[in-house]
Structure 1
Amino acid sequence: MNRIIQILIMAIITSLSFSCMANDQNYGKQKVVYHVNYDNATKQSSALRNIQNHINAVGADNLDIRVVMHGNGLSMILKPEALKETPKFKSANADQVMSQKIDKLKLQGVSFKVCANTVKGRQVNIEKHLYDASNADTVPSGVAELAHLQGQGFSYLRP
């Protein structure tokens, strides 16, 4: 009788193990930096969707995601009403839809970083012109931040 119980327990454990493997790829902990330096709103929205899909697959608790924006990439968080005051930008894409996507990602732990060189060179007022950004979100150089994070073991993605 004990042998039958042992076999049944082992069968249940094996079944549960395979069931968990089928539903959970178990990617483990990941550190990822997403690079945005383009002003195309459709492409930026697609990048945010990729980030959400990444979170859905791996789990927010298993991810450290940073989004580094520089150059034209700042248009992703540039408020539409700021465009007339920031003539060095062609687009201002932080409309309600984009802002909601960004908010949702931030609530899941995604960090958005802004290049101080772009802010200075394009005369951007962080608090006034950028959606939900502050001085604490700036990095001295977007490209230097990308290299630094890659040196810290972050995987680089540019969707």
Structure 2
Amino acid sequence: MKKVIAIAVAAMVAFGFGTSAIAAEKNPYVSMFGGKQKVVYHLNYDNPKRQKGMLRNINNHIKAVGAKNLDLRVVMHGKGYTMLETANTDLELQNTIVSLKDKGIKFQLCANTIRGKKLDEKNLFGFDPANDKVPSGVAEIAHLQKKGFAYIRP
């Protein structure tokens, strides 16, 4: 019996099961059963200080969990779009947004807001209508929550 257990443990280590458990022990936010942490950040305000604070929260979230262990979306509607307008003239904000996108963070903007505010999509920093536009910001947030995304509104 001891020989069978020893062989099973050796096989688990050989196939990486042991290293996953060790990684999970070192990072309490990573499940040893796999899967990414799914989170939606809700942005609908136009306060640049709060918007930058939200981006710092996201960076801290990435540091705690690891980009590869995270599926994080920023869903903007209402006045949240102003962050992308402000970024056109704020190099620090541009760098932060690009850095987060490089880590796999998705920034999504409500089509109702674009239409209702008569926004020129070319004036929204880093905005790609084909990939970043959602039909309804609030409906997208509800949809993501139904899919298991945790909701955060900093």
TM value normalised by structure 1 = 0.75
Query: Which residues of structure 2 form unaligned runs of 5+?
Result: 1-21
Residue 70 of structure 2, aligned match among 60, 63, 67 = 63
- One-letter identity of the residue aligned with 1:139: V
Give aligned-pair identity as a percent. 50
**Is 1:25–2:28 an aligned residue pair?**
yes
Secondary structure (helix, strand or coil) at the match of 2:38 reads: strand
**Is 1:158–2:149 an aligned residue pair?**
no
Higher alpha-carbon Rg: 1
Matches for 1:69-148 after TM superposition, within 5 Å: 69-79=76-86, 95-127=90-122, 129-136=123-130, 137-148=132-143
Query: Which residues of structure 1 form unaligned runs of 5+?
Result: 1-18, 82-93
| Superposition CA RMSD, Å | 2.5
Q: Distance between the aligned counterparts of 1:118 and 1:21, measured in 2?
A: 41
Q: Distance between the aligned counterparts of 2:112 and 2:97, measured in 1?
A: 22
Alpha-carbon offset, residue 96 of structure 1: 1.1
**Is 1:149–2:149 an aligned residue pair?**
no
1:1-31, Cα deviation, whole Å (9 max, x unpaired): xxxxxxxxxxxxxxxxxx9677422433200
Alpha-carbon offset, residue 125 of structure 1: 1.2
TM value normalised by structure 2 = 0.78
